[in-house]
Amino acid sequence: GDKAFAQFLTDEIKEEKKIQKHKSLPKVSGGWELEVHGTEAKLVRKIAGEKITVTFNINNSIPPSADEETQEEQKPDEQEPDLTSTPNFVVEVIKDDTKQTLVLDCHYPEDEVGHEGEEESDIFTIREVSFQPTGESDWKDTNYTLNTDSLDWALYDHLMDFLADRGVDNTFADELIELSTALEHQEYIKFLEDLKSFVKCQ
C-alpha cells in the first residue's frame, strides 16, 4: 500500500510542479518587503514616520468550491479551475511617536463576484478595527474593537482611504492574492514531498 501511495505522490508532485506558475514568489509592488515563516507571511513598508505591516496566513485561505454546476460543464480534458488563495489579512499601522498601533482586520468577501454593475467596489473589506499596544504580540480582548458591520459609511470610507494612502488598495489586494496563491501552492508541493518521504521511510 505504501509503495503505491509513494508512487501516487511522486506523480502528483510532478503534475503540481508542471502547473506551478511562479518558481519564485511574485513581488508586491510599492516597496513592500516580504518575510515568510512557514505558512505566515508578513509584508512591511515604511513611510514618513510610520511603519505599515500586513500579515496573513495561507492556512484555510482557499475558499471551498461549492459550484457544482461549473464542474459539470467542464470538459473532461480541461484542467481543474485554478485554486485561488484569498486569506484574511491584518494591517497594522504604527506611528513612530505613539505607543499605539492601529490594527485593521481585513478580508475578501466571498460574494465579491456578484457585485458587477455597482460603482467599482473594493475587492476587500475591513472587518474590525482596534488599537493595540505597540510591540506586544498578545492582543488584549479588553481593548475596544470596532466592528464595521454597523459602521457609519462615511467613517468606513475614510478608513479605506486611510489604508489606500498607505499603499493598501485594490492593486495591493490583487497582488496579495497572487502572492498568497503562489505561496500556498509552494507549501502544498512541499507538503506532498514531505508526505512522500514520510511514507517511504521504513
SS3 of the chain: helix, strand, coil, percent, to 5: 40, 25, 40
Return d(Cα 13, Cα 26) in angstroms, integer: 21
Position 23 scores a pLDDT of: 81
User: In this structure, what are the phi and psi dihedrals at residue 15, rounded to the nearest 5 degrees?
Assistant: -60, -50
Please give the residue that has the higher pLDDT: either 163 or 119: 163
> What is the chain's Cα-based Rg?
20
CA gap 146, 158 in Å, rounded:
14
Copy the grid coordinates of residue 98.
Answer: 505613539
Q: What is the mean pLDDT of residues 70-77?
A: 43
Separation of alpha carbons 16 and 150, rounded Å: 43
For residue 104, count other CB atoms closer than 10 A to its CB.
22
- Tens digit of pLDDT for each residue in 11-61? 999 999 999 888 889 999 999 999 999 999 999 999 989 999 999 999 999
pLDDT score, position 137: 67
* Those residues with Cβ within 8 angstroms of residue 165's Cβ, 6 or more apart along the chain or in another chain: none
pLDDT in tens, 127-158: 999 998 887 667 667 788 999 998 899 999 99
pLDDT at 129: 94
User: What confidence tens digit (pLDDT) does each residue in 165-201 have?
Assistant: 999 999 999 999 999 999 999 999 999 999 999 998 8
- Structure confidence at residue 77 (pLDDT): 46
Quick check: 5 pLDDT over 70?
Answer: yes
CA distances (Å), origin 62, targets 6, 59, 183: 26, 8, 12
CB 81 within 8 A of CB 65: yes
To the nearest 10°, the Cα dihedral for 16, 55, 105, 112? Answer: -30
Residue 8 has pLDDT above 70, yes or no: yes
Choices 3.40.50.2000, 3.40.50.620, 3.40.50.300, 3.10.280.10: CATH for 28-60+83-110+119-192: 3.10.280.10
Distance, in Å, from the CA atom of 132 to the CA atom of 138, rounded to the nearest integer, reads 9
| Residue 53 contacts residue 42 (beta carbons within 8 Å) | yes
Domain ranges (residues) in the chain: 28-60+83-110+119-192
The confidence score (pLDDT) of residue 99 equals 81
What does the block give as the cell for 86?
Answer: 484569498
pTM here is 0.84
